[in-house]
Structure 1
Amino acid sequence: MKTGYSRIMAGLIIAGISVTNVSYAESGMDSVFRRLGTFMSTPQFSLASTDADNPVLDLAVSSIIVRYALEELEKPYVYGSTGPDSYDCSGLTYSVFAKAGISIPRVSADQGSSGKAVEKEMLMPGDLIFFDTRNSNDETDISVDTSDIISLFAPEQSPSAPAVFVPQKVTHVGIYVAEGKFIHASSGSEMKVVIADLGNKYYSQRYLFAKRYV
């Protein structure tokens, strides 16, 4: 564990990220951090350009977004919080983007209504990814990060139909990092800002879409 942890921290240092209490060595995140560190430290991703149409600037901002998000790892999940000591899921994305100089809506549903649509196969660091984390389509849901109470019943189902979950409504958001990993403020058993795998069965079944703001 110590060796793996050291490799992770080396990758973070390359990326210019200062993070404490990171322990993802056993989940394969060391290679992700190393590659992300190389990506962030490449000279062409300098923020020197101010041309809004310059794709190099977009990539630079994307790396900054991921860097800021990683700095929040391990901070606790608190409903309604936007930091700096705790976050809910959209509070994390809202605050990280604001720190990077990008204004986005506060709650996940609104964040998913704006931005540029991105295919799952084309995800880049800094993209926002959205999920429907309800247990069923017909449950009355209190969204992960809003106080709205929403009752939604899938039109293709009937009360007597088998409960087949179809992701439809945004209730959760995270920031794509690299290699199928994303960072988010989890309200599940972890109750903190963590890195998760998009290929995980739970998240792959509840994935909705992605949006790009840079």
Structure 2
Amino acid sequence: MARCPSCGASISPDDRFCGVCGHALTTGPLPGPGRSRSLPIIGLVVAGAVVLGIGVYQVIEHSAAPPPPRPAAQEPSAIPPPPPRTAVQEPSAPTESPPAPAPAPSREAERAPPPAVGCANLVPPGAKIICSASEPNWAIELICGQSSLTSNFIDAFSGDRMEQTPGPVSLSREDPWVFRSKQGFEGSIASTPGACRDESDQAFDFTLTPIEVPGVLDPQTTTCCRIER
């Protein structure tokens, strides 16, 4: 029979309190003397096994873990090379393409006569301009008609009498008026109001510069011109 652990009185297995001293009993059966002594030993064994297992686990984990990486050896810093020297760029030329050269005039264009110029700005229609020279004596008359300019070349050095050679005249420009007659006379007449004076010191408004005069070798002498209506 079980006894109370406090007073040693006999108790039944179903009692919860000791009937003698009122000590509270455990719900289960009381352990025997031998079983109560083995519990601390079992606890120590279990605790030692747990500690041993933890130690073994730490040893295994430590051995399985990879070694920490060794710090890389730092190479001595090299002196950086000097920056490359850049050449000075000259200002670039404009990208615009040069204009195309004008086409060379054809031979037909060179041989073509100059464009006609009217005579009204030189001589009023129906009037004429007369330019004369001396030594040798010659004269040229330019008559302005309704639609064209005609001429009379007068020379007094080809014989005893004066000769007149009529023919058309072509004007190529104005002031000075450059002209050429059918007789081969070529020259230019410029407007020079009151600036041209003849041998008698008479003033005229037009000056003729002859370039080529029929029968005259050196016609490079200016002469005065007058207008007759």
Regarding TM over 0.5, the answer is: no
- Band of TM-score, shorter chain: under 0.3
State the TM-score, normalized to the length of structure 2.
0.20
Q: Which one has more relative contact order, counting CA pairs under 8 Å at least 6 apart?
A: 1
Structure number with greater Rg is 2
> Counting strand residues as a fraction of each chain, which structure ranks higher?
2
State the TM-score, normalized to the length of structure 1.
0.21
